[in-house]
Amino acid sequence: MTTSPSPAARPRAGSLARRPDVAVLVVILTVDGARVKVLLVRRSAEPFKDSWSLPGGLLMDSESLDEAAARKLDDETGVTDVFLEQLYTFSDLDGRGSVAVAYFALVDSQQAHLARRREWPPAWFGVDELPPLAFANETVIDYALRRLRAKLDYSNVAYSLLPPDFTLSQLQHVYEAILGRPLDKRNFRKRILSLAIIEPTGGLASEGRHRPARLYRFRERRPVVF
């Protein structure tokens, strides 16, 4: 037997359910030398005016979460064909019970073209030297870093942080920057080559006074799990 909802449970005539506000944040990471950096924007409005925060904004009508994240990534860096993945859904980052769906993206800083604007300007910061952040964004960045470090063990995610052709030394430097520790050169190369996620290009690159190093490329410049 079915029962009708009580009068108190029924929506009032002519009323519409309000779509809750959902924010989308993007943790955009790069490796610059031996450091992992994150892209932040300086806020030009309250709350937290003049503080730094992750790029983001409210989800637009008829826009999917993935579309919103890709839009923000493009707005800030001018790149789209890079690794971008949903990270986590956070609540109450602003202390008022809001919902924020976070994504994280990996970009080669040499390929990124940061937006040039007087308001809400973007800038790279080392993840080990972050300024005071709005909306507890340091929590989101820490979560993204932990996810990235874990993904190095089972995916080719580093492809998005390197140019199309690279040396094994360059690849190792990226891994070391992300993990925050040095890696044994012989063991690293043995493992990477055994995974068959990269292949030689046939080209060579000069590395200082050392003999030219072989150039490699990722077999797939898209996420692959091994």
Q: What is the pLDDT of residues 126-161, one digit of tens each?
A: 999 999 999 999 999 999 999 999 999 999 999 999
Whole-number average pLDDT of the chain: 90
The alpha carbon of residue 31 and the mean position of all alpha carbons in its chain are separated, in whole angstroms, by 12
Q: By percentage, how much of the chain surpasses pLDDT 90? A: 79
14: left (phi over 0), alpha (psi -120 to 50) or beta: left
Here the CATH number for the domain that contains residue 199 is: 1.10.10.10
User: Which tokens go with 157?
Assistant: 């995610």
CATH of the domain at 36: 3.90.79.10
Residues 120 and 165 in one domain: no
61 and 144 in a single domain? The answer is yes
For residue 122, which of 54, 41, 28, 30 has the smallest C-alpha distance? 41
Q: Which of 151, 170, 196 is the last residue of a domain?
A: 151
146-199 confidence digits (pLDDT tens): 999 999 999 999 999 999 999 999 999 999 999 999 999 999 999 999 999 999
Predicted pLDDT at 187:
98
pLDDT of residue 62: 87
13 within domain boundaries: no
CB 216 within 8 A of CB 165: yes
Is 59:22 a contact under the CB 8 Å cutoff? yes
195 and 115 in one domain? no
Q: Which domain holds residue 208?
A: 157-218
**What is the bridge-based pairing of β-strands 56-58 and 22-32?**
antiparallel
- 8 Å CB contact between 26 and 102: yes
Last residue of a domain, one of 151, 178, 208: 151
Strands 99-106 and 22-32, by their bridges, are parallel
Residue range 117-124: mean pLDDT, rounded: 95
Residue 188 contacts residue 180 (beta carbons within 8 Å): no
Torsion of CA 9, 10, 13, 14, to 10 degrees: 90
The token pair at 216 is 């490699």
Asked whether residue 115 falls in the same domain as residue 83, the answer is yes
Q: Are residues 122 and 201 in the same domain?
A: no
In a domain, 2, yes or no: no
Q: Is residue 136 part of a domain?
A: yes
Cβ-based neighbour number of residue 47 at 10 Å: 10
In a domain, 172, yes or no: yes
Q: Residue 159 and residue 103: Cα distance in Å, rounded?
A: 18
Q: Is residue 1 in a domain? A: no
Instruction: Specify the number of domains making up the chain.
Output: 2
**Contact present, 132 and 146 (Cβ < 8 Å):** no
Do residues 103 and 186 share a domain? no
Query: Which of 111, 126, 151 marks a domain boundary?
Result: 151
167 in the same domain as 147? no
Q: Do residues 100 and 82 share a domain?
A: yes
> What token pair was written down for 15?
């009323």
- Is residue 94 located within the same domain as residue 77? yes
Residue 106 within a domain: yes
Q: pLDDT for 56-87, tens place per residue?
A: 998 988 899 999 999 999 999 999 999 999 99
- 66 and 169 inside one domain: no
In a domain, 173, yes or no: yes
How much of the chain is in helix, strand and coil states, percent to nearest 5? 25, 30, 45
Do 30 and 116 share a domain, yes or no? yes
Residue 16 domain flag: no
